[in-house]
Structure 1
Amino acid sequence: MNEPAPGPPRALARLQLHAGFTLDDAAAQVDYYAELGVSHLYASPLFTARPGSNHGYDVIDYHQVNPELGGEPALQRLMQRLRAHGMGLVLDIVPNHMFAGPGNAWWMDVLRHGRASHYASYFDIDWRSPDPLVRGHVLLPILGKPYAQALRDCDVHLDRESDEYILRVHDNPLPLAPPTIEALRGAGEAARVLSAHDGTREAGFGRLHALLEQQHYRLALWKLANDMIDYRRFFDINELVGLRMDRTRVFEDSHALVFRLYAEGLIDGLRVDHVDGLADPHRYCRQLRHRLRRLQRQRPAGAPRGPAYLVVEKILAEGERLRPDWRMDGTTGYEFMDQVGALLHDGAGEPMLTELWQAISGERADFATVARAARRQILVDSFEAELDRTARALFDAARADVSTRDVSLPAIRRVLVELLVHFPVYRTYAGGLGRDAADEAVFQQAYARARHQVRIEDRELLAEVSAWLGGQAPRGLPPGRVRQARERAMRIFQQATSPMAAKAVEDTACYRYGRLLSRNEVGADPGHLALDIPTFHALCAERARDYPNNLLATATHDHKRGEDARARLAVLSHAAVVPHWASTVERWRERNDGLRTAVDGARAPSAADEYMLYQTLVGAWPLTLAADDREGLDAFRERIAQWQRKALREAKRRSRWSRPNEPYEDACDAFLAALLAPVHGFAIELHAFVQRIAAAGAANSLLQTALRLTTPGVPDTYQGTDAWDFSLVDPDNRSPVDFDARRAALATGAPWDALLGRWRDGALKQRVLHALLQLRSRHRAVFAQGDYRQLAVEEPEGAGAGRLLAFQRTLDGQAVVVLALRHTGGVLLDAREPRWDAAATTALLAADVRVRGVAPGRYRNLLGGGEGSVDDALQPAQWLSPLPVAVLEPLTS
């Protein structure tokens, strides 16, 4: 058995586990990932989840490994295989929420015993609802019909299960309070008791209603959730209830298995999901690091003894940084996905793309305006209950202080709405000492924008609310009701901003704003199309200094478009390509206009929805799909149709999840079906256009892959992305992976020319990934500890300026040099392959471009071969072949 190398992982491979792909299935792929060059597998949550869960984020039991995945014996078998290859395991955990339903013993106990339950303090429940009907109870908005109708239609009825009385709602069991059960047991024969509570009869209806009134929960129509729910949810998902992880007992109970698995060497690190949902992320992260550090000495031989690898899922806004005092290794890499994605886009094409979007859609608003409108809508449509809870917490803080007792709840609500609408980040992290400098800057920005929107008479209150939310340190107040109320208001507010922002930006605005969908991604700002090379270098250098072990992701289980779909769509921003795209879209719109139909007095799909559909078709078209492949086209249409229906509902303009507009959705489906029907011939045109930009898209993808593997951080390869990834949003991005094909491709060891000749099958991308993972293995210290140095590119001002990216990773005199050309769409437009040579380099750059500052020595290009000596300066054209990206490895004598 090989002992894993100490220190952080060298490279991760993310796997989504479920009943169809278990821990034993993962174990069967260990040798493939070992051969590829991965040091750690990175598993989706392993706790027991809701039966049939395909993601594991709906946990019902933190104390056991999910039996559907094979249980703990299967985890042990997986770890044996990993250790045999000197590999490790990083585990995704879910501390923020659990599934609120059958199977969750903690939740069922709360429903049975109410506030007297041992687990009542585990969940973030507001027992102080302003509604006297709900106060002191848990509101369960699970009825498909109004309450009375549900009882009369027997959707809610009394039943017996395992010789015990239960309540059954839509076939789901709910517990009854112990006094109710005792009363029913003493009421006579079971059949008579059940008959007496038959809601289909008037007398039975009254008895059933009276029985329900004695429970610790209140049943309600599902539509009431957004207005009335009294427990903190994950986003607006009623079935996921928030946990009070700030309480030590809850922390220890929910992490007991994690700590044991780590102590026994069955896991080596953790990815913490949705850290912003926690009341106190700072305390949680430090507590987690402390507990794992204490367990290090218990780990067995064969398990690395160094610090556990810990990263948090955190969306960082532009200019925002992860707090160093959290003691984490970094984030899960959404910010890198944003940065490298923006680098692939061409700012020169932005004005033309903006004009095209506005002309087609008729929408003039920029993304920031669209996002603010979405925030305002979301507060009313999806988070009315959370808004009300936050406003009431602030109202309590006002009433606790005699100097602010005249403040009204409606006034607080008005200023709170404006703060939330204009909040520039997902959340702040103020504690007892108030806001730090970073949070203060955030609040001042939100305050300044909100001040322009609130009524003049509310501006003084806006300043007061800002103070209550951390502008004044609660610990500066004497212990008592005022201090407690301020701290509670601050906690509730900070836990509310993150889901509101995510729902408004990621799940609404990103489905409304369609300038270029490759920038509409989790962690990205679609309003910022491109990133220049100097800024990218500065961000890499900063990461090397502050978070050298930050995860680097370009695809995740949450992405809206696969990494290669985004890379292909980025070509549409290249200045030389935008005119072709614009004329193509105009031609398509004209030829397909007759396929649109009228629904409720408007055309379906709308112009904006049609334009976003064309982008999606172009981005997701498989490289191996022929326009006359009927079976392949049908499968492709099904994938796009699934995306389109979800996109329409997330946008919340003509349809939504809570009230689907099926006539509009069906008309959009019919439009898509007609587009791809063989008789229409559009698929031939679509295929032809994809072929025009496909090679340039592949060049973007290979550049993206190279940067993920060579810039500071730990690269993460999401399942299936070792070949081309043109997936769409979940569940499409969680589709089964053909590992047999990947094994066969890796085993062939085909030369670069052969791979370029059949580049559409994905083996070329796999070879680039394999070559660079092996490089990281040979030069582990260089990538784990080495400097990141921008290399000087000497080029005249002009057409080629700003296209060549050059840097080196150095340690103790050794250097790995990376050269990459971006914005190659003009040269590779209509190209049959992403093949590159000196002539192509010269066509893109000035002939006399030089790269200076390279560590002298002899190098070989890992991406295609070729060797040569370098003495401080090199000519890019000498090395950029056969790809527009080169990674130079030093040769030892």
Structure 2
Amino acid sequence: MTVPRATLRLQFHRDFTFDDALAHVDYFAALGVSHLYASPITTATPGSTHGYDTVDYGQVSAECGGEHGLRRLTDKLHELGMGLIVDVVPNHMGVSKHNAWWQDILEWGRHSAFARYFDVDWHSPDPALRGKVLMPVLGASYGDELFAGRIALRFDAGNGRFNIVYAEHECPVCPIDYAAILQSANRADLSALADRFASVTTQPADQPRAAEGREALREFVRQNGASAIEFVLEAYSPNDPVTRDRLHRLIERQHFRLAWWRTASDEVNWRRFFDISTLAAVRVERAEVFDAVHALLLRLYAEGVIDGLRIDHIDGLAEPREYAQRLRQRLAELREGTTPYIVVEKILGRGEPLRDDWPVDGTTGYDFMNDAGALLHDPAGAAPLAQAWAELSGRPANFADEALPARRKILAENLPAELDRVSRALHRLARDSIATRDFTYTAIRRVTNELAAHFPVYRIYPQNGLRSAADNAYFDVALDAARQTLSRADHGVLARVDAWLGSGADENGNGNGRGAAYGAQPNGNANPFNHTASARRTVQTLFSQLTAPVAAKAIEDTACYRYGRLLSRCEVGADPGEFALTVEQFHAGNQERARRFPHAMLATATHDHKRGEDTRARLAVLSEIADDWIATLRAWTTLNTPHRRALNGNADDWAPGPAAEAMLYQTLVGCWPPGLSPDDEAGIKALAERVAQWQLKALREAKLRTTWLAPDEAFENGCREFLFDILAPQRRDGFLRELSDFVARIGRAGVVNSLQQTVLRLASPGVPDLYQGTELWDFSLVDPDNRRPVDFTQRQRMLAEARPSDYLANWRDGRVKLAIIQRMLALRLQIPELLSNGSYLPLTVQGKYAEHVIAFARRQGNCWAVVIATRLSMALLDADSALPLVDPIAWDETAVQMPEELFGRALFDWLSPAAPKVEDTGLLYLREALTTMPVAVLVEDGVPRV
């Protein structure tokens, strides 16, 4: 099996290509990772900075270096014994003129060879969209843009095509209209060309003739020039009422409907990725689509170029389990004797398991990131911080009270078209039976809305039309909540929708205790609910493909930007309502992973994180000093009151507003660079620009005062001005000095948190993943800040030549973190079975400061590694010391109870010169184990030390 020892995630784009990565492969090898882990490598929209907007699955991105560049990179990796994991995006594609599949369905509609590749509703109830694809690309209403002359007919001489053009968008005209277009010029030569299209229809059999006609048209222009075509285009000019009307009628005949971008949420008739109207969902559940999407990657795997796959947004797929089974089977057939490594991007709720019947190696690590992050927080801070947040901001104290309104807003404003599609499918089921034919569409939509609004996880995974017990554990939460919020008049509809969505209710509406509201069925109808299995599966899929984006958009992209109790818990994959995790809970998560998915990825930073791993680690310290932080927050709001921007001449209406201001202070505390001085004007300005980017995104994502759909520029400008004012040079002896001093006060405890988090990721069961550049301190914010260029040359120069403890004194440069990573990866290389497959044993800590320590052992045969990390260190750190280290004497009699096999044994710290001895009683005192570092990884003397 090609299981990575450790991965390093790289974001490829035109400014960081395969050859750019190639230049640093020696560094990646010296760091100790076994595999690079690449963002999508297929061709994306030109200029894409992330690669998730694929436009051609069949070609390696030329902007990133093409297949030759990819092979140069992998040849070097293989030379050094390394491999490559790549990200695949099977759920959606970028839709633009660069996507040949999408262009073909715009041209031929439902008769396109690719009509079933995309999840398009060709039978929309809207007559204006039947057989058409909505194209919500216009900057204003269709009429305004048409009259302004911004929509036009153009000819592409390169391929002999007529297109309806708007800005950078090109929508091909169906060839059945070419004859009329060419005849409009009243020229014999063009009329002769028109004859080639006279009998063309949209049927597939006619499409080759249309291609031949376009080729003749292209050759005509090549030989005679484009002047003749200009006469044609004049006949459809938008600048004259008569020709504009002709243009309009031509557009109306096409297989697309041009529309204002604002119409997308309400009227889009194709499934999008979340609410992004430039990404269209792909029907990868169809065999021919699966083959087309994966052909390149399957070939590269067969040829040994790549070694595994990361599946993006698997919850968007119709059948995730079947998809994973098909993918693993296809890959396994290609390379005899190896088992492909496959991980899935899956957001798991607390207690929600990754399904056992998915043949994958685990998740990409959001679950571990959540666990490791929650462990850093002091539960004692939860209540006072929540109360203070509510008082300062006027927002709810509990996250759940933000989440539900956010879900409702997303359903009402961002995804109403998707909600309508599910409701219509359910309504069709209702109309198929005389027992339910009177269930109205409106009632079904109300019920569906409530179920989606209260759904506690991303989705369900029914099999053969039935939900499992695991599904019902979550579906029942939504069902009970919907029952509470809906009128009793809707309870019958709710019960039947529950059955259609897989409850297992029988034909009389009974089963699993549900559906009894229906009572007896009409006489003479022996089988009133005899709907086809495929119809039920369809509505179950549509419902699942609704709840997943609702969860993502409402929680991650809305509520997490509204709730500010502590921003370190407002992260992708986390529940901000869950403030802290106990050591016992963290151990339980590691044990579960070791048992079920021992090769899952372990991440603490990703390309999607909202705050860098060290930003979160520093902010977590605030949970330990809740009262002090609350007092500081109140003092800063008073100090900066004069800089608030009044809006609309109303002193009570000001930017940024209390909630956004409180979040801003947390953000500044979290991302303040180590060593930045209030006197460094250039450094402060650079910080302000970064934070301003975050602030604008945060305000719009919160969807309160301003949004992406309807920006309030006056408010946004006021927020930006406030930020730059409080960070202005003239504040260096005021707010800036206070901010800097506060960061200095908590900075060492933040470093202890960071090093704890780093060691836990590298020593816990699973495959540690490093996000590009986070080998040094990662005080980044949400993208694009977390995707800034990385100076790998600097990191190579800083590779450790000594133990990590030697770098602790100069912790601000981040080299101690890099050294820990390098050293731990060396341990994983030297004793590969110990940390990859070794058993996981939680260790008990006793003594006065037991709650400030986490300890566990990894064991493989007679080989041991004992991991000890300081936690919640703020109260234990010596205020007079510059080191992020608890004075060994301060640990007093606090000790770890070691396994019996290690009683009386001498151990050696892999990270420092420490060599503590386990007492004959089995106690290992922290005053001996944590003498020079806040973390320790203890091994036996027989383990080779490098």
| TM-score (structure 1 length as normaliser) | 0.95
- Give the letter aligned to residue 62 of structure 1: Y
CA distance in 2, matches of 1:869, 1:368: 48
Q: Within 5 A, what are the aligned runs for 1:529-678? A: 529-574=579-624, 577-600=625-648, 601=650, 602-678=653-729
Distance 1:484 1:868, change over 3 A: closer
Q: Match for 1:186 among 163, 183, 188?
A: 183
2:155 paired with 1:102? no
- Give the letter aligned to residue 604 of structure 2: T
Q: What does residue 302 of structure 1 align with?
A: none
Deviates more, 1:477-486 or 1:859-868: 477-486
Distance 1:14 1:848, change over 3 A: closer
Displacement, 1:397? 1.2
Q: What does residue 214 of structure 2 align with?
A: none
Q: What does residue 899 of structure 2 align with?
A: 853
Work out whether residues 845 and 894 of structure 2, in 8 Å CA contact, stay in contact via their aligned partners in 1. no
CA distance in 2, matches of 1:46, 1:225: 29
Q: Match for 1:697 among 722, 747, 750?
A: 750
CA distance in 1, matches of 2:846, 2:791: 45
Please state whether the residue corresponding to 1:320 is helix, strand or coil: coil
Please state whether the residue corresponding to 1:404 is helix, strand or coil: coil
CA distance in 1, matches of 2:81, 2:697: 42
Identity %: 48
Q: What does residue 25 of structure 2 align with?
A: 30
Work out whether residues 474 and 483 of structure 1, in 8 Å CA contact, stay in contact via their aligned partners in 2. no
CA distance in 1, matches of 2:56, 2:805: 52
The CA deviation string for residues 539-558 of structure 1, in whole angstroms up to 9 with x for no partner, is: 11111111100100000000
- Give the letter aligned to residue 298 of structure 2: F
CA distance in 1, matches of 2:641, 2:491: 50
Distance 1:286 1:715, change over 3 A: same
Work out whether residues 123 and 131 of structure 2, in 8 Å CA contact, stay in contact via their aligned partners in 1. yes
2:870 paired with 1:821? yes
Distance 1:862 1:371, change over 3 A: same
Deviates more, 1:32-41 or 1:163-172: 163-172
Please state whether the residue corresponding to 2:116 is helix, strand or coil: helix
Work out whether residues 387 and 397 of structure 2, in 8 Å CA contact, stay in contact via their aligned partners in 1. no
Work out whether residues 435 and 473 of structure 1, in 8 Å CA contact, stay in contact via their aligned partners in 2. no
Work out whether residues 45 and 94 of structure 1, in 8 Å CA contact, stay in contact via their aligned partners in 2. yes
Q: Within 5 A, what are the aligned runs for 1:645-794? A: 645-681=696-732, 682-746=735-799, 749-750=801-802, 752=804, 754-794=806-846
Q: What does residue 310 of structure 2 align with?
A: 271
Distance 1:831 1:385, change over 3 A: farther
Distance 1:159 1:47, change over 3 A: same
Please state whether the residue corresponding to 2:107 is helix, strand or coil: helix
Q: Match for 2:327 among 284, 288, 301?
A: 288
Q: What does residue 443 of structure 2 align with?
A: 411
Q: What does residue 206 of structure 2 align with?
A: none
2:290 paired with 1:251? yes
- Give the letter aligned to residue 3 of structure 2: P
Q: What does residue 382 of structure 2 align with?
A: 350
Please state whether the residue corresponding to 2:3 is helix, strand or coil: coil
The CA deviation string for residues 483-531 of structure 1, in whole angstroms up to 9 with x for no partner, is: 3332221111111110111000000000000000000000001111100
Distance 1:171 1:311, change over 3 A: closer
CA distance in 2, matches of 1:834, 1:816: 26
CA distance in 2, matches of 1:13, 1:754: 25
CA distance in 2, matches of 1:184, 1:474: 59
Work out whether residues 808 and 854 of structure 1, in 8 Å CA contact, stay in contact via their aligned partners in 2. no
RMSD (Å) for aligned C-alpha atoms:
1.7
Displacement, 1:849? 3.2
Please state whether the residue corresponding to 1:374 is helix, strand or coil: helix
Please state whether the residue corresponding to 2:129 is helix, strand or coil: coil
Q: Within 5 A, what are the aligned runs for 1:361-376? A: 361-376=393-408
Q: What does residue 339 of structure 2 align with?
A: 307
- Which 5+ residue runs of structure 2 have no aligned equivalent? 186-227, 512-526
Distance 1:139 1:79, change over 3 A: same
Work out whether residues 64 and 257 of structure 1, in 8 Å CA contact, stay in contact via their aligned partners in 2. yes
2:300 paired with 1:261? yes
2:154 paired with 1:159? yes
Distance 1:478 1:73, change over 3 A: farther
Distance 1:551 1:196, change over 3 A: same
Q: Match for 1:172 among 160, 169, 172?
A: 169
Please state whether the residue corresponding to 2:869 is helix, strand or coil: strand
- Which 5+ residue runs of structure 1 have no aligned equivalent? 1-5, 298-304
Displacement, 1:830? 4.6
CA distance in 1, matches of 2:708, 2:738: 33
Displacement, 1:879? 0.8
CA distance in 2, matches of 1:616, 1:496: 32
Deviates more, 1:141-150 or 1:856-865: 856-865
Displacement, 1:472? 2.6
Work out whether residues 111 and 216 of structure 1, in 8 Å CA contact, stay in contact via their aligned partners in 2. yes
The CA deviation string for residues 169-201 of structure 1, in whole angstroms up to 9 with x for no partner, is: 114222110111233233334222211111221
Distance 1:753 1:294, change over 3 A: closer
Please state whether the residue corresponding to 2:875 is helix, strand or coil: helix
Distance 1:216 1:782, change over 3 A: same
CA distance in 1, matches of 2:898, 2:537: 56
- Give the letter aligned to residue 130 of structure 2: R
2:123 paired with 1:71? no
Work out whether residues 474 and 486 of structure 1, in 8 Å CA contact, stay in contact via their aligned partners in 2. no
- Give the letter aligned to residue 469 of structure 2: A
- Give the letter aligned to residue 714 of structure 1: V
CA distance in 1, matches of 2:737, 2:606: 31
Distance 1:829 1:338, change over 3 A: farther
The CA deviation string for residues 221-259 of structure 1, in whole angstroms up to 9 with x for no partner, is: 111000000000001000000001110000011100010
- Give the letter aligned to residue 115 of structure 2: A
Q: Within 5 A, what are the aligned runs for 1:506-545? A: 506-545=556-595
Displacement, 1:755? 1.4
- Give the letter aligned to residue 309 of structure 2: L
Q: Within 5 A, what are the aligned runs for 1:802-813? A: 802-813=851-862
Q: What does residue 132 of structure 2 align with?
A: 137
Work out whether residues 2 and 307 of structure 2, in 8 Å CA contact, stay in contact via their aligned partners in 1. no
Displacement, 1:57? 0.2
- Give the letter aligned to residue 33 of structure 1: F
Work out whether residues 910 and 936 of structure 2, in 8 Å CA contact, stay in contact via their aligned partners in 1. yes
Q: What does residue 3 of structure 1 align with?
A: none
Displacement, 1:759? 1.1
Work out whether residues 434 and 473 of structure 1, in 8 Å CA contact, stay in contact via their aligned partners in 2. no
Please state whether the residue corresponding to 2:757 is helix, strand or coil: helix
Aligned residues: 872
Displacement, 1:479? 12
CA distance in 2, matches of 1:863, 1:852: 19
Deviates more, 1:154-163 or 1:412-421: 154-163
Displacement, 1:348? 1.2
Please state whether the residue corresponding to 1:810 is helix, strand or coil: strand
Please state whether the residue corresponding to 1:311 is helix, strand or coil: strand
Work out whether residues 693 and 829 of structure 1, in 8 Å CA contact, stay in contact via their aligned partners in 2. no
Displacement, 1:28? 1.3
Work out whether residues 386 and 397 of structure 2, in 8 Å CA contact, stay in contact via their aligned partners in 1. no
Q: Match for 1:800 among 840, 849, 854?
A: 849
CA distance in 2, matches of 1:654, 1:92: 36
Q: What does residue 39 of structure 1 align with?
A: 34
The CA deviation string for residues 684-717 of structure 1, in whole angstroms up to 9 with x for no partner, is: 2111110001111011000000000001000000
Work out whether residues 435 and 528 of structure 2, in 8 Å CA contact, stay in contact via their aligned partners in 1. no
| TM-score (structure 2 length as normaliser) | 0.90
- Give the letter aligned to residue 420 of structure 1: A
- Give the letter aligned to residue 633 of structure 2: V
Please state whether the residue corresponding to 1:603 is helix, strand or coil: strand
Q: What does residue 497 of structure 1 align with?
A: 547
Work out whether residues 751 and 884 of structure 2, in 8 Å CA contact, stay in contact via their aligned partners in 1. no
